[in-house]
């Protein structure tokens, strides 16, 4: 039995789909990669956001680059209504099911990007009712929604 299927996604480009059922709380897949220091990542042009990057902060000192052939988890897309979450367990990054997942469902998690001046670089295409249009973590989406509400009111006043 195949645990995972990589195929075209309705969210963004390629996605990872469940090849079997997973129960809430299951460790679905480990996010693997090469370890770097934060300073190495900041100084390396490969990580400049001009292409897809697969970086995960492991701790205050270490970042994991998941752009490796052995890292099937890199195909999991962001969504604002995820069925998985990320947890660091004994120094390893795990994708865990936060609800029961049926065979054939696309795996997804909230990438957890913060709200800062760079948020506009990362458009969200998930289409969920919770989506604010950008890949920003759940507890920060209100900032974007508030910003759009102010912009919309300003446009209405000009008309």
Q: How confident is the model at residue 146 (pLDDT cuts 50, 70, 90)?
A: confident
CB 136 within 8 Å of CB 125: no
Average per-residue pLDDT for the chain:
88
Quote the CA–CA distance of 99 and 23 in Å, as a whole number.
7
The predicted-structure confidence for 41-83, as pLDDT tens digits, reads as follows 889 888 876 667 788 888 999 999 999 999 999 999 999 999 9
Q: Where are the domains of the chain?
A: 4-32+71-158
Quote the CA–CA distance of 141 and 115 in Å, as a whole number.
8
pTM, 2 dp? 0.85
The CATH class of 4-32+71-158 is mainly beta
Q: How confident is the model at residue 154 (pLDDT cuts 50, 70, 90)?
A: very low
Quote the CA–CA distance of 8 and 17 in Å, as a whole number.
10
CB 56 within 8 Å of CB 97: no
Compute the chain's Rg from CA coordinates.
17
Q: Minimal CA–CA distance to 14: which of 58, 97, 75?
A: 75
CB 137 within 8 Å of CB 114: yes
């Amino acid at each position: 039995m195949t645990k995972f299927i990589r195929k075209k996604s309705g969210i963004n480009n390629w996605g990872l789909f469940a090849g079997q059922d997973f129960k809430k709380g299951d460790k679905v897949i480990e996010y693997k990669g090469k370890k770097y220091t934060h300073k190495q990542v900041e100084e390396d042009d490969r990580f400049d956001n001009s292409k897809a990057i697969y970086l995960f902060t492991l701790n205050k000192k270490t970042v994991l680059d998941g752009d490796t052939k052995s890292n099937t988890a890199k195909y999991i897309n962001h969504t604002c209504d995820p069925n998985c979450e990320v947890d660091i367990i004994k120094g390893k990054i795990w994708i865990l099911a936060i609800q029961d997942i049926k065979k054939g469902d696309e795996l997804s998690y909230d990438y957890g990007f913060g709200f800062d001046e760079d948020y506009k670089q990362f458009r969200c295409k998930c289409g969920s009712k919770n989506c604010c249009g950008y890949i920003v973590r759940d507890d920060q989406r209100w900032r974007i929604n508030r910003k759009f509400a102010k912009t919309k009111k300003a446009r209405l006043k000009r008309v």
